[in-house]
Structure 1
Amino acid sequence: MGLDRLAWRILAARPLRTLLTTLGVALGVGVLSSSLAMSAGIEAAVDRTVRDVVGSADLRVAAFLEGGLSEATVEAIRMTDGIEVAAPSIERRTFLGAPVTSAGAEAREAVTVVGIEPVAWSRLHELELVAGARLARIDEPSALITESLAEADGYILGSELRIQGHDQPTTLRVIGIIAGPGPVAGAAGRAVIVPVDVARSAFGLEGVTRVDIGLADGVSARDVAERLAERLTLEPYVLSSPADLAEGLRASTADFQATTALVAAIVLFVGSFLIVNTLSMTVGERAREVGLLRAAGATRAQVVRFVLAGALVIGIAGSAFGLVLGLLLGSLMAGSVRALTGFPAEVSSLNAGSLAVAFLVGVAITIAGAVEPAIQAARISPVEALRARLDLPATRRARLGWLALVFVAVAILALLAWPPAAGATGADRALGVYAVLLAATLATPFVLPPLARILGSPLAAFVRLEERLARGSLARDRSRTALTLGALVVGLAMIVALGWTAQAARNAATAWLADVVPGDEVVTSIRPIGPGEAIRGQLAAIEGVRSVTPIATFDLAIRGLRFDAAAIVGADFLADGRLTFIDGERAAALRALDVGGAAILPLPAAERLGLGVGDTISLALGAGTTLDLRVVGVVERSIPGDGGEAILVGWRDASGPIGVPGADVFAVRFEDGAGPAAREALETAARDAALEANPLSRVQGAVTDALGRVFGLFDALALVAVLVAALGIVNTLAMGVVERVHEIGVLRAIGMTRRQASRMVVVEATILGLVGAVLGAVVGLGVGAVLLFLSGGLVASAGLPWASIAIAAVLGLAGPAIAAWYPSRLASRVSIVRALKFE
């Protein structure tokens, strides 16, 4: 107990150093706990979303084709052995007319309309009403709306609600209001639930969108799936379970979780630099006390416990404070997830498991960082310690060697806490990044002296004396300097690497849109616009419009797999110069689409199917019929779909055998020199037709903004690593001043001014910053190259992240300069008389 109290007093004797180290641990644990909190919040959101979407259903059969599931298919599902409840439903997006209430106003935002069979659907889905009654019949002209929609658009019980359908509006009466945003995923709270026959009539449908299935007690979902495969032969369908839906939702946030986990591990690693350095300083500074303890009979084990006790205090205090920081950071992360995916992730508190993991990891890393200083303290010879301060080359070498082991420990802990949704691919990227950073850290002591000499030489022209003294101080304990510099390099490297990754993602997104969209403006519709409707002609008749290209997106079934597809006009793409062909003759391929019987594959689909130009793909169309299309081209990029890039087919095949009812997108190209009036006229016409017009630049800007918000968060987390490194610089510079008190006193005695003493420390920090900025940029490019290579984004067009390099350079210079403020004041206040007495 006496040694434990002594450890506490030694920490209290250096309050600034102890506080900075504790704060470094807290920042690392804060990022880790926020990552764990975010993962827990995502899991809770997944469970909540799955529960809202499928209720208590065990399986879901969804339509694959635009026509939906026929009544014969629904009946076949009902008659399948083992199925107790089959609840068909229809889902469509549309607009509402103005609500007829005193508070009503024209509501232009789209809503999601869900048509249900009230009795069957209510057996699988629970609806919490805040007012009114539930639906009772499949044909009553009534509707339930969400509380969010009622508040936003002014609806109350009894209001008339007009749904814009395929022909004319359908008028319904609001009989109930559902609590909160309602059970429809992706509707942003704007949902309307109506009887299924009302939905059929309003949208001119015969089939249904999906059928939710409840199984009888003791029946296996796998057995029922096999029976459905035998019975459902009329049309292709997608069979899924709640687990499948949950897996898809987790996949949408996997990259985000993987990146936050990676950055959290790196911040912890940087924190370990600070811990190893601080405790090594303490051991070296207290060598005589340790020697006296050994001379008084303390065993090596007791000395080890003495050092580890101090580390335990720092670890517990820092980890506890880090949990508080983590809750705040987790809330910021949740906002970024919602901005990127629209996923309703929330972080209100840490669950017990996440809290315990973050706390224990923080304490474990602190103890791991203290093991090497503890071992070195235990090896102190009493005679040697009483003769001089501990400053042995073996100690310096061991410090760096142990850091490599700490790095491995951090990597193992990071993999153990790795988000399951991120998968093995994300873990491979993390291991690649760890390897680059470890190599850079171990190489730092070898490149530091020459770089310090080269980068410090310009400073010698202005402050020659201070520059030489600063370089001498950096060389005094190279392992300590290397640890301090290594932490700064790792933080700056992550800023450069993440900046490069963000730049490549933005470039890829904007290049993708520019390469595949044959227009300046994208006009979208929430319902298919049939070829017989006059909307395309109305848009084309606007003065200044050169072309209007209809595009429809839908799904195809090929070899039992789902693929995104799009119907296009080949002649329009040919005239506009869109699509980059990898295989096939461009003009012939696009003309073949318009003739029919042809398809153009995006490169990922071609590789997945193992097909090339001249091969044939067979599409399942239902009722045992198929459509064979000849592959006439392979393109680098295609129109984006829900799950990837779309297979391109011509309108003759799409509107004929495939059964696509109409276009959901129009790409509008203006004449050269068309002014703002043409764009305003187009947007006015689009609004009148219940369409939404967006310039391509606005779409590209929205993508860039979304990526910017997410990568901005990652940059902020990487900045935490730079902050931890700055704390280490304060410790190192302050320790350098303490160690050189006698030296500074001598220099002051022979004429050095207080200003020069202060400037010497600032120059030392500046050299550290210059070396850190250069190495950070180089290592950051290496880390970025690994990330881009493993994700397939390392291409010549990615360019170098000059903006991120500039930011890293500014931080590399500003951080050490700010960190030098206190040590420089400490150096300037050294008393000559007291310094000459200092040992």
Structure 2
Amino acid sequence: RSSPTSRASSRSGPTPRPRTASRSPTRASSPLLAGVVVRALSVVVLRLFGPVGRLAERNALRNPRRTGATGAALMIGLALVACLSVVGSSMVASATEELDKSVGADFIVQDSGAGRPIVPQAAEALHAVPGLEHLTDYTYIKAKITAPDGRTVDEGITATDPTYQQDVRRTALSGDLAKAYDKNAMSVGEDYAEKHGVKVGDTLSIAFKTGESAKLKVAAITSDDTNIDRGAMYTNLTTATAYIAADKMPQNVAMFGKAEEGKEKEAYAALKSALAEYPVYKVQNQADFKEDLKDQIGQLLNIVYGLLALAIIVAVLGVVNTLALSVVERTREIGLMRAIGLSRRQLRRMIRLESVVIALFGALLGLGLGMGWGTAAQKLLALEGLEVLEIPWPTILTVFACSALVGLFAALVPAFRAGRMNVLNAIATDG
């Protein structure tokens, strides 16, 4: 029996517990997933190779903790690749849908990158181009806007020709957007109208920073459910020039063109020719604009993919290390299998298949997890206009197939070393 002193000391404090290293949920569940996923992959991949494939399956399942940890290294890199691919493809698809839905112009002219305005000489050259139904001037004017509630904000008014209504389609929630281009009239976005209690028919005080003050009547309230000109306030260029001197009027930020029926190619070529002396500006049709967007997002993704390639290299080294340890641990077993008739070729194939199934296990988990992350990110970004979910299946399937090649590459050295083992020395090895 224990003494009262020892019993008291045992009650005096909590029993110390051995310290254990914390593991992430994904890493902790990897061994459990390894058993399920590797068996499923074996039915599709390994069983086709007969007894050698079954041996590879048993070897991969022999130590599920090691298989899970090895696959997890590859999983992390591929999860990031899949997530970014889904987000990038969704960005392109959302922007493309927005262009198709909102943009009616055939051509867009703007600076090639630095956001510089279009100089008057270039604008005049563009206006002289034949074959155009119309060419819209588009500029942005800084101003202080005072609402009927007395609050003043530093905003800007987008001054355009009335033809801009055909170039970019905006939905009017109340009023008539066409009337916003009448004399001394304008439109406001729904967010501004809701915040300041503005209604159609109200008058706003506009203090142009480069001109005089004006009283403009609100003729329409436009929807802000768009990524193009979100929150923009529109007025006619003629209205703006009545309060701003010609030499102080801001230059065009962009210009939008509509070709005459059947003359799209001729007008496109003529616009490019007119800007030959002004290489800082570029003419784009809708196809060019979409392709440019894909290239921009593609360049960003390529940089990220290059960084993630380092993670893939680390994962390959992990697979090589796992296989090398596995071969060393199974030296006597390998010798016995060789002694009963397993050829060197079959032995190498067994190790390669084991490597492939480990790589595919990591790829399957990584791509599945990455697509889940990407889908969740798209749903979150849908609040900011990323409304289309696009899964890049060609990219996903290509990465999955390349994972098998990664497995084959990682098995080259371990398989070569196993094939060169002396049978008698291997059998005589302890363990």
- Say whether the 8 Å CA contact 2:70–2:315 is kept in structure 1: yes
1:665 is the counterpart of 2:269: no
- Say whether the 8 Å CA contact 1:495–1:804 is kept in structure 2: no
| 1:817 paired residue among 389, 398, 408 | 408
| Residue 619 of structure 1, CA deviation | 3.7
Match of 2:185 in 1: 597
What pairs with 1:716-755 in structure 2 (closer than 5 Å)?
A: 716-755=306-345
- Say whether the 8 Å CA contact 2:271–2:283 is kept in structure 1: no
Q: Take 1:781 and 1:638, find their aligned partners in 2: how far apart are those partners?
A: 25
Q: 1:756-804, CA deviations, whole angstroms, 9 ceiling, x for partnerless residues?
A: 1111111111112222222122101122234334444685523112233
Change (3 A) 1:794 1:610: same
1:714 is the counterpart of 2:304: yes
Q: 5+ unaligned residues in a row in structure 2: which ranges?
A: 1-17, 112-116, 146-150
| Residue 754 of structure 1, CA deviation | 0.9
How many residues end up aligned between the 2 structures?
393
Q: 1:418-464, CA deviations, whole angstroms, 9 ceiling, x for partnerless residues?
A: xxxxxxxxxxxxxxxxxxxxx44333222221211111112344312
What pairs with 1:47-446 in structure 2 (closer than 5 Å)?
A: 402-404=22-24, 439-446=25-32
| Residue 584 of structure 1, CA deviation | 0.8
Q: Take 1:748 and 1:789, find their aligned partners in 2: how far apart are those partners?
A: 55
Q: Take 2:143 and 2:264, find their aligned partners in 1: how far apart are those partners?
A: 40
Match of 2:134 in 1: 547
Change (3 A) 1:606 1:732: farther
- Say whether the 8 Å CA contact 2:356–2:406 is kept in structure 1: no
* SS of residue matched to 1:668: strand
Q: 1:250-308, CA deviations, whole angstroms, 9 ceiling, x for partnerless residues?
A: xxxxxxxxxxxxxxxxxxxxxxxxxxxxxxxxxxxxxxxxxxxxxxxxxxxxxxxxxxx
Q: 1:146-165, CA deviations, whole angstroms, 9 ceiling, x for partnerless residues?
A: xxxxxxxxxxxxxxxxxxxx
The one-letter amino acid paired with 1:520 is: D
Match of 2:425 in 1: 834
Change (3 A) 1:691 1:757: closer
Q: Take 1:617 and 1:638, find their aligned partners in 2: how far apart are those partners?
A: 25
Q: Take 1:568 and 1:680, find their aligned partners in 2: how far apart are those partners?
A: 24
What TM-score, normalized by structure 2, do the two folds share?
0.78
- Say whether the 8 Å CA contact 1:599–1:650 is kept in structure 2: no
1:701 is the counterpart of 2:291: yes
Change (3 A) 1:806 1:690: closer
| 2:173 paired residue among 576, 579, 584 | 584
Q: Take 1:658 and 1:766, find their aligned partners in 2: how far apart are those partners?
A: 71
Q: 1:569-614, CA deviations, whole angstroms, 9 ceiling, x for partnerless residues?
A: 34x34445x3353x615xx5321221242214276x678x476764
* SS of residue matched to 1:695: strand
| Residue 676 of structure 1, CA deviation | 3.4
Q: 1:380-407, CA deviations, whole angstroms, 9 ceiling, x for partnerless residues?
A: xxxxxxxxxxxxxx9xxx6xx5443xxx
* SS of residue matched to 1:462: helix
1:621 is the counterpart of 2:211: no
| 2:107 paired residue among 521, 526, 532 | 521
* SS of residue matched to 1:547: strand
The one-letter amino acid paired with 1:597 is: A
Q: Take 1:606 and 1:789, find their aligned partners in 2: how far apart are those partners?
A: 27
Match of 1:488 in 2: 74
Q: Take 2:49 and 2:196, find their aligned partners in 1: how far apart are those partners?
A: 67
| 1:472 paired residue among 58, 80, 85 | 58
Q: Take 1:602 and 1:638, find their aligned partners in 2: how far apart are those partners?
A: 14
* SS of residue matched to 1:784: helix
* SS of residue matched to 2:48: coil
Change (3 A) 1:668 1:824: same
Change (3 A) 1:693 1:758: closer
* RMSD of equivalent CA atoms: 3.4
Match of 1:759 in 2: 349
Q: Take 1:521 and 1:599, find their aligned partners in 2: how far apart are those partners?
A: 25
Identity %: 24
| Residue 524 of structure 1, CA deviation | 4.1
Q: Take 1:803 and 1:446, find their aligned partners in 2: how far apart are those partners?
A: 29
Q: Take 1:758 and 1:599, find their aligned partners in 2: how far apart are those partners?
A: 74
Match of 2:90 in 1: 504
Change (3 A) 1:491 1:688: closer
Change (3 A) 1:763 1:638: closer
Q: Take 2:427 and 2:173, find their aligned partners in 1: how far apart are those partners?
A: 84
Q: Take 1:650 and 1:638, find their aligned partners in 2: how far apart are those partners?
A: 22
| 1:776 paired residue among 360, 366, 380 | 366
Change (3 A) 1:767 1:574: same
- Say whether the 8 Å CA contact 1:785–1:794 is kept in structure 2: no
Change (3 A) 1:835 1:645: farther
- Say whether the 8 Å CA contact 1:601–1:648 is kept in structure 2: no
Compare 824-833 and 492-501 and name the one that shifted more. 824-833
1:637 is the counterpart of 2:226: yes
Q: 1:454-510, CA deviations, whole angstroms, 9 ceiling, x for partnerless residues?
A: 111123443122222222222222221111111111111111111122223333444
Match of 1:802 in 2: 393
| Residue 808 of structure 1, CA deviation | 2.2
Which of 1 and 2 has higher RCO (CA within 8 Å, sep 6+)?
2
Q: 5+ unaligned residues in a row in structure 1: which ranges?
A: 1-378, 380-393, 405-438
Q: Take 1:555 and 1:799, find their aligned partners in 2: how far apart are those partners?
A: 38
Q: Take 1:455 and 1:513, find their aligned partners in 2: how far apart are those partners?
A: 42
Q: Take 2:28 and 2:385, find their aligned partners in 1: how far apart are those partners?
A: 26
Q: Take 1:635 and 1:560, find their aligned partners in 2: how far apart are those partners?
A: 21
- Say whether the 8 Å CA contact 2:351–2:415 is kept in structure 1: yes
Change (3 A) 1:745 1:562: farther
* SS of residue matched to 1:579: coil
- Say whether the 8 Å CA contact 2:226–2:385 is kept in structure 1: no
Match of 2:6 in 1: none
- Say whether the 8 Å CA contact 1:766–1:813 is kept in structure 2: yes
Q: Take 2:333 and 2:278, find their aligned partners in 1: how far apart are those partners?
A: 83
| Residue 728 of structure 1, CA deviation | 0.4
Match of 2:269 in 1: 680
Change (3 A) 1:723 1:521: same
Q: Take 2:64 and 2:52, find their aligned partners in 1: how far apart are those partners?
A: 19
Change (3 A) 1:748 1:610: farther
The one-letter amino acid paired with 1:819 is: A
* SS of residue matched to 2:349: helix
* SS of residue matched to 2:326: helix
- Say whether the 8 Å CA contact 1:522–1:695 is kept in structure 2: yes
